Amino acid sequence: MEIKVEKNENNTIAKLDITFDEKESQKAYDMSCRRIANSVNIAGFRRGKAPKHILEKHVGTDYIKREAIESMLPKAFHKAIVENNLDIIVEPSVLDYKFEKNEPVVVKAEVELKPEVKIENYKDLTFETEKYTRKENDVQEELDNLVKKSAELKTAQHTQATKDDSVVIDFKGFIDNEPIEHGEGKDYLLDLANSAFIPGFAEGIVGHNLNEEFDINVKFPDDYHDEKIKGKDAIFKIKINEIKERIMPELNDEFAKKVSSFQTLDELKADIEKYLKEYEEKENIRRKEKKIFDEIMKLGEVTVTDAMIERESHNLLNEYAAKFDAGTGIEFGKLLETKNPQLMENIKEEAKNRIKNTLIIAKIAQNENIQVTPQELQTKIEELAYAYNTSLDVIYEEIRKNSNILHGIGQQALMDKVSKFLAQKNTVNLI
């Protein structure tokens, strides 16, 4: 076996020219014949007993040759990778081959290599970033939010809807006099101050009276998820069945007991003050670490190939689809049916940055001998289980089904360690 390796100028692709001598090739061919003969049925012969020339006529010599080459390639690829110290990303792929009787077999293949990362100066640097400062009266703001969350909805004494009310409505939407699919509801409770409906819907209800029936003219946004109705004018027929108002609780010791484990309002205020102070400290630490990480990632030089971007973009699309579909009930794929070029460009840019950052992190980790211990990996898995509110057994089962999950967890753990290392070795001034 003879192997020639030639890398491209960016060291991202290695071309492999592999030559198998006649003896090795013929042996592989004969063994493939025996394997195939044992797996096919040929009329007039028991399995494995058909002569070679009969088998060749039945399945074709090209099929046998491909099987023979596939049996020889793993050893050849391993030899090429080890002897030439190739840091590969994916398994090599065959581009072409020549397999003639009584001649050496020649296979041309290529393999993607991990791009070379150049980053030299990533320690003893100084950066600046904006300081997080607490708002004035933030404790009172938190208390006000608690009061709002604890408010009770009761039937209003007034009969005209205000912007702060909630209403129970029947509604039905039409475009060009045709009903909108899924565009109707009965006794639907709508918070007029915090509506997730399209712009103009909640605002159009304000000022109308209890039991009144009326129409609202609205326009669906140009970026609405449903291609059939985005950007179109619509009419919604509305009836107000009930008007509800929020009754705010009084801010006192009894309120503190109701919403917390504290006995007095002063104790609740002190706890909120402590929380907000700790949040301020943690947020400024986070900002420092992020600034250092982001700036140092910019210092690294690495060539990211189109093939790498395509694969990572595919991974990102799958991630977004899982999150988006679960969170909204809208199929992410339907959004892509519009073939929004800007959306795809954004995904590709994010994929490129993710690849670049991953490679730079790995390079720094290699330079500084930073490794993820089994205990740190276990901690990350436990954090994942906590974040998804599930058991460790469920996470382990998902890892068993998809080993890429464990790889992703390991990458996140490594990124965290490298980020902490960079934070210790550099300085950020808060301004």
The answer to whether position 123 is within a domain reads: no
Decide if pLDDT at 334 tops 60: no
Number of domains making up the chain: 3
Q: Say yes or no: 279 and 396 in one domain.
A: yes
Residues 297 and 238 in one domain: no
Decide if 146 is inside a domain: no
| Domain with 294 in it | 265-430
* CATH number, domain with residue 90: 3.30.70.1050
Beta bridge partners of 167: 190, 243
- Contact present, 302 and 360 (Cβ < 8 Å): yes
The CATH number of residue 292's host domain is: 1.10.3120.10
**Cα dist from 116 to 64, 104, 356, 418, whole Å:** 39, 35, 11, 19
pTM: 0.69
List, for residues 185-242, the tens digit of each pLDDT value: 999 999 999 898 999 999 999 999 999 999 999 999 998 888 889 899 999 999 999 9
Q: Is 13 helix (H, G, I), strand (E, B) or coil?
A: strand
- pLDDT, one tens digit per residue, over 275-326 is 999 999 999 999 999 999 999 999 999 989 888 998 888 888 877 776 665 5
| Residues near 186 by beta carbon (within 8 Å), at least 6 away in sequence | 170
- Contact yes or no for 430/288 (Cβ under 8 A): yes
- Both 200 and 304 in a single domain? no
Asked if residue 416 belongs to a domain, the reply is yes
In this structure, the answer to whether residues 93 and 177 fall within a common structural domain is no
User: Is residue 135 a part of any domain in this protein?
Assistant: no
Question: What is the overall mean pLDDT for the chain?
Answer: 91
Q: What is the CATH number of the domain that holds 231?
A: 3.10.50.40
